[in-house]
Amino acid sequence: MSMTPTERPEAPKVEPTGPEPHLVKPYGDAMGDGAVQVSFSLPVPLSDESREAARRLAGKMGLTEPQVYHEADLGHGFSYFIVYGKCRHTVDIARIVVPRVAAAPMGFHEIDEFISHRLGRKVRVIGACTGSDAHTVGIDAIMNMKGFAGEYGLERYTNVETLNLGSQVPNDVLLAKALEFRADVVLVSQVVTQKDVHLTNLAELVDMVEAEGIRDRVLMICGGPRITHEVALELGLDAGFGPGTTPTRVASYFAQELERRWKAAGGAPVTR
């Protein structure tokens, strides 16, 4: 192997330039001008008054020189606006620490070889879009053989057994299938997130897995547009991946994390 989990490369440091090298703010036409655009809907018909309301609301958001750039009548008493303005605030990027999934990046063949030689048996992975979520694009990108962004999905791996349950899978059904499949890894995709339904849905799943007494035996991973690793950890899962995640990122993580856990437990659990 060209890299072990303990040899995770450090992310390159970003060194912003300018009079305050670590203070950053948006820019549009000139560096540091703070130019931004915001868009929102208002529950009132389109009119001169609603247009002015949109401009004033942008001002209350903290934007200076707000201007309504685009407006549209959405019908049924609703209107839509795009407002330009200038952000007066900065952030110190040097003080930002973002939790990341700790795993050395590996390629398709490297992961398959790692599982074969380091884990000693095939890894069983079950995945689903749970709750009311009917969008399979995320789970399919990771699991389907065709994969995503030029990478093969988990179904293509010789040493990974997969079961993709698809969309709108109730948590209790996912749990039952995971037990039947003797899953090592549970992947959950959450695309539908209105009213933060993804948070309650994921928290419920974790509670159900813990109540079943198998939490220490399965690796729980979630992904989606509003998922971060920090959110996943707060909800009780093991890892979270955001938009644009490729199959090798997920597979690199669960292969290395399973090895760490199985070594600590004295070996891989028997699956049959």
Which residues are catalytic, by number?
146
Cα–Cα distances in angstroms (integers) from residue 140 to residues 9, 127, 189, 241, in the given order: 29, 9, 9, 14
**Where are the alpha helices (H) located in 38-135, listed in sequence order?**
48-60, 108-114
Cα–Cα distances in angstroms (integers) from residue 35 to residues 24, 62, 144, 155, 260, in the given order: 12, 12, 41, 45, 47
Residue holding tokens 């939790």?
99
Residue 153 to residue 247: CA distance in whole angstroms:
6
Distance from the Cα of residue 121 to its chain's centroid: 28
